A = this chain, B = another copy of it.
Amino acid sequence: MHLDLSVPATELTRAVVDIPSESGAEAVLADAVEEALAGLGGLRVDRDGDAVVARTDLGRATRVLLAGHLDTVPIADNLPSRVVGGRLYGCGTSDMQAGVAVMLRLAAVFATSAGSGLAHDVTWVFYDNEEVDAVRNGLRRLVANHRDWLDADLALLLEPTAGEIEAGCQGTLRVVVTVPGHRAHSARAWLGENAIHRAAPLLERLGSYRTRTVVIDGCTYREGLNAVRISGGVAGNIIPDACEVVVNYRFAPDRDVSQALDHVRETLDGFTLELADSADGALPGLTAPAAAAFVQAVGRKPVAKYGWTDVARFAALGIPALNYGPGDPNLAHTRDEYVEIERIDAAEDVLHRYLATEK
Neighbour of A227 across the interface among B174, B194, B201, B246, CB < 8 A:
B194
Distance between Cα atoms of A194 and B234 in the complex (Å): 24
Smallest CB gap from A224: residue in B: B189
A327 to chain B, nearest CB (A): 16
Residue of B nearest to A305 (CB): B187
Give the distance in Å from the alpha carbon of A250 to the alpha carbon of B307 in the complex: 46
Interface-facing stretch out of A55-63, A142-150, A203-211: A203-211
Q: 24 A-B pairs, CB-CB below 8 angstroms?
A: A186-B226, A186-B250, A187-B308, A189-B224, A189-B226, A194-B206, A196-B203, A196-B206, A196-B226, A196-B227, A196-B228, A196-B230, A226-B239, A227-B232, A227-B233, A228-B235, A228-B239, A229-B232, A229-B233, A229-B236, A229-B240, A230-B231, A236-B246, A237-B248
Give the copy number.
2
Q: Using CB atoms, name the residue of chain B closest to A245.
A: B196
A214 CB to closest chain B CB (Å) equals 14
The verdict on A199 contacting chain B, using a C-beta distance below 8 Å, is yes
A233 interface neighbour in B230, B233, B234, Cβ under 8 Å: B230
**Contact yes or no, B235 A186, CB < 8 A:** no
Complex alpha-carbon distance, A280 and B323, angstroms: 63
A306 interface contact, C-beta 8 A? yes
Q: Check: A72 CB closer than 8 A to any chain B CB.
A: no
Q: Is A198 an interface residue (CB 8 A)?
A: yes
Q: Which residues of B contact A227 (CB under 8 A)?
A: 194, 196-197, 232-233, 240
Asked whether any CB of chain B lies closer than 8 Å to the CB of A319, the reply is: no
Return the CB mask of A147-176 against B: 1 if under 8 Å, else 0: 000000000000000000000001010100
In the complex formed, the residue of B with least CB distance to A244 is: B230
Decide: A233 near B246, CB < 8 A? Known: A204-B204, A207-B197, A308-B187: yes
- A238 sits at the interface (CB 8 A): yes
Task: Say whether B233 contacts A189, CB under 8 Å.
Answer: no
- Ranked nearest first, the 5 interchain pairs of A and B with the lowest CB-CB distance are A229-B233, A189-B224, A197-B207, A200-B203, A187-B306
- Expressed in whole angstroms, the Cα–Cα distance for A226 and B206 within the complex equals 22
Residue of B nearest to A192 (CB): B226
Given A186-B250, A196-B206, A231-B233, 6 more A-B residue pairs with CB atoms under 8 Å apart are A186-B226, A186-B228, A187-B224, A190-B222, A194-B207, A196-B229
Partner of A232, one of B194, B197, B230, B308: B230
Q: Does A359 contact B (CB under 8 A)?
A: no
Residue A212 CB within 8 A of the other chain: no
Which B residues are CB-close (under 8 A) to A230?
Answer: 196, 199, 230-233, 243
- Smallest Cβ-Cβ distance to A225: which chain B residue: B189
Contact yes or no, A307 B187, CB < 8 A: yes
